[in-house]
Amino acid sequence: PKRFVKQIPDSILSNPALNAAISLLPSNYNFEVHKTLHRISSSSARRVALQFPDGLLMYSLPLADIFRSFVLAEPTYGACCLDDYAASALSADLLVHYGHSCLVPVPSSLLPVLYVFVDIRIDVPRLAATVQSALALAGTVQFVAAVHAARSLLVVVPQAKPLSPGEVLGCTAPTMVVFVADGRFHLEAFMIANPGIPAYRYDPYLGVLVLEEYDHEGMKKARKDAIFAAREARNWGIVLGTLGRQGNTKVLDRVMEEKGTVVLMSEISPGRMELFGDSVDAWVQIACPRLSIDWGEGFSKPMLTTFELDIALGIIPGWWEDYPMDYYAQDGGDWNSSYVKR
């Protein structure tokens, strides 16, 4: 923001060596290096941890050279993976989290956190010309600025609070039609929740608009089969995800009132779950709903989401129409993990 830029001293903004180092980074990627250095300096942080999603990890070493700090190399799948626990264990004074918006409220973090969205500049007029009609438009946080720049030309920007207007996660999506991203993982959240609405994806690098498809019937059958199988379970296991902030202990307390023994895991995979053998008949995971939706059939025992557990236990009626993707939405169901729930 301009207000913040004015606070950054010229000694940082006009530092020749610093600007030369920044010039080695992609010119259309805004890593907010000046702002980050000012935050480090003004907070007197001596140890700074940098956390990147996999798609930005290639830039971690150049940025680490600039900041002379630690790099957290644990996988960062989404905004839920804020790893303030690991940064705190490193005795870091500041965590810089790249590539996501603030999903975990700042007061809840164990140390100060600076969020850098890494805004990526793209050809907005080409985006508008390609779409050519009034539509709802959204994208990953890197392209939110471009989405808003196109707003006056053709679009309505939707929002699922607490996300930024126009932002989508892989597990939380507003209602929209055109998605700006180079991949489809986040778009699939919208397609799952809105099977009756055509979903288009605009690739900002290729400049093309593609109609995407999703196997709704296959997904519904797989999840229904898992729910029905879990209803027969005698021994339940509860997996609390420990990768960043995936696992929500409030949801855990709620689930423990109903079922199971708790297992803590940072990475949930079929191979690791096999180690429990037949001691568990069904699992419910408090980590990421896409683990069950996308890869549930790879587990030998039913692996339910907290939403699906409520169905299996008869707490809510069976859903066999639209599948809610509101995992971090503040107005989502009782099963969701929002840190700012109303």
Q: What is the CATH number that goes with domain 2-117?
A: 3.40.50.11840
pLDDT, one tens digit per residue, over 255-265 is 777 667 888 88
Q: What's the whole-number mean pLDDT along residues 111-133?
A: 80
Which pLDDT does position 95 carry in this prediction?
87
Which pLDDT does position 1 carry in this prediction?
45
Q: What's the whole-number mean pLDDT along residues 230-252?
A: 82
pLDDT, one tens digit per residue, over 175-216 is 556 788 888 888 898 889 888 888 889 898 888 888 899 999
pLDDT, one tens digit per residue, over 314-337 is 888 876 667 888 777 777 777 777
Its pTM surpasses 0.75: no
Which pLDDT does position 330 carry in this prediction?
74
Pick the range with the lowest mean pLDDT from 87-101, 135-149, 224-238: 135-149
Asked if domains 124-212 and 216-312 share a fold, the reply is: yes
Average pLDDT, the chain: 80
Q: Give which of 52, 80, 53, 51 is closest to 286, Cα–Cα.
A: 80
Is residue 57 over pLDDT 60?
yes
Q: Does domain 124-212 have CATH number 1.10.260.40?
A: no
Residue 147 or 35, more confident: 35
Which pLDDT does position 208 carry in this prediction?
86
- Cis peptide preceding 317, ω within 30 of 0: no
pLDDT, one tens digit per residue, over 258-284 is 667 888 888 899 998 998 888 899 999
Determine the topology of domain 216-312 in CATH.
Rossmann fold (3.40.50)
Which of the four pLDDT bands, split at 50, 70 and 90, describes residue 342? very low
What single letter denotes the amino acid at residue 1? P
Which pLDDT does position 215 carry in this prediction?
95
Which pLDDT does position 4 carry in this prediction?
47
Enumerate the domain spans of the chain: 2-117, 124-212, 216-312
Q: What's the whole-number mean pLDDT along residues 154-180?
A: 65
pLDDT, one tens digit per residue, over 282-318 is 999 988 889 999 999 999 999 999 899 989 988 888 7
pLDDT, one tens digit per residue, over 62-84 is 898 888 755 555 555 555 666 77
Is residue 339 over pLDDT 50?
yes
